[in-house]
Amino acid sequence: MHVLILGGTTEARRLAEILAAEAPDLKVTNSLAGRVAAPRLPPGGVRIGGFGGAEGLAEWLGAHDVDALIDATHPFAGTISLNAATAAGTAHVPLLALRRPGWVPGDADVWHEAASLEEAAGLLPALGRRVFLTTGRMGLAAFAHLEDLWFLVRSVDAPESPRPPHMEVLLDRGPFTLDGEREVLSRHGIDVVVTKDSGGAATAPKLMAAREAGLPVVVVRRPPTPRGVPEVADPRQAVNWISDRLEQGILPASD
Ligand code: NAP
């Protein structure tokens, strides 16, 4: 039995860890896009790089006798999720999306929703001058025209051009702490935060720190998810789904 996990997230790694511990006989391949120079590798097999669109992924599923496909990619990785839905249909492989829930604002939050990075950039001049930009190293072009603003850009690897003219890069990767995020906001005199609605606990402390400081947060909404794909929110539910589909006894059933 062979499970392919499309990964690049904490949840994908966690799923691979549970399967390695609880179902050592199951063949698991983790697929990473190759965006990060030194990725945290999950247990099990690892392949790195694109498949060549939905067609390439469908071919890979057939050539490697994949019995179940888990799309555990980031909520903003919309292309690979669409490709997974198409390829799973073509190759007749059951597909599950493992997607962490989005964040929900509390009463004290000052959130401004944007449909895209471009829309987020358009909101910024009215909200502040010193921006903590946490949307990742890709897509900085959307902010490159904002010459009057200063950006603190946090990313795992260094961002490339085009990028805003006045900026400092903070190379770091989560999980982050509330104390650490408070310190970042105050040390850099931040007056507005920009984030994708990534969800999850690892990067949520910036939202709490912004709330405490009374800072506005521009939240970029998620892209739509493919229709008809069953979805679960945490790795344990994904294990249960796999367990239901694979031969009885290969995976222990659990709560
Ligand atoms: P994307 O725009 O949805 O995908 C672009 C292309 O990258 C896909 O068509 C596919 O190439 C390849 N790809 C993406 N994920 C892949 C995977 N897990 N394994 C193999 N190929 C993959 O993706 P993205 O937004 O650039 O994200 C890339 C990776 O970074 C994902 O694995 C995602 O989980 C992770 N990530 C993304 C974000 C984010 O904000 N977007 C944040 C954290 C982590 P082919 O068409 O050639 O197959």
Kindly state whether residue 212 falls inside one of the protein's structural domains: yes
Per-residue model confidence as pLDDT tens digits over 111-120: 999 999 999 9
Q: Which two tokens stand for residue 65?
A: 């006798």
Using CA positions, which residue lies closest to atom 16 of ligand 1? 33
Same domain, 158 and 198: yes
Q: How far is the CA of 77 from the centre of ligand 1 (A)?
A: 5
Per-residue model confidence as pLDDT tens digits over 213-222: 999 999 999 9
Q: How far is the CA of 182 from the centre of ligand 1 (A)?
A: 30
- Tokens 């900026």 -> residue: 167
Mean pLDDT of all residues belonging to the chain: 95
Same domain, 93 and 164: no
Per-residue model confidence as pLDDT tens digits over 116-136: 999 999 999 999 999 999 999
Q: Using alpha carbons only, give the angle 1, 43, 195 rounded to the nearest 5 degrees.
A: 110
Kindly state whether residue 255 falls inside one of the protein's structural domains: no
Spatial distance between the Cα atoms of 228 and 95, rounded to a whole number of angstroms: 10
The DSSP symbol for 142 reads: G
Same domain, 12 and 75: yes
Per-residue model confidence as pLDDT tens digits over 146-199: 999 999 999 999 999 999 999 999 999 999 999 999 999 999 999 999 999 999
**The predicted structure's pLDDT at residue 255:** 41
**The predicted structure's pLDDT at residue 251:** 53
Q: How many domains does the chain have?
A: 2
Per-residue model confidence as pLDDT tens digits over 65-82: 999 999 999 999 999 999
**The predicted structure's pLDDT at residue 245:** 85
Question: Any idea what the CATH number is for the domain that residue 201 is in?
Answer: 3.40.50.720
Residue whose CB lies within 8 A of the most ligand 1 atoms, among 71, 74, 117, 219, for a mutation test: 74
Q: Using alpha carbons only, give the angle 101, 174, 150 rounded to the nearest 5 degrees.
A: 100
Same domain, 94 and 11: yes
- CB-based contacts of 2, cutoff 8 Å, min separation 6: 26, 27, 28, 29, 64, 65, 66, 67
Q: How far is the CA of 33 from the centre of ligand 1 (A)?
A: 5
The closest alpha carbon to 190, from 219, 214, 224, belongs to 214
Same domain, 30 and 94: yes
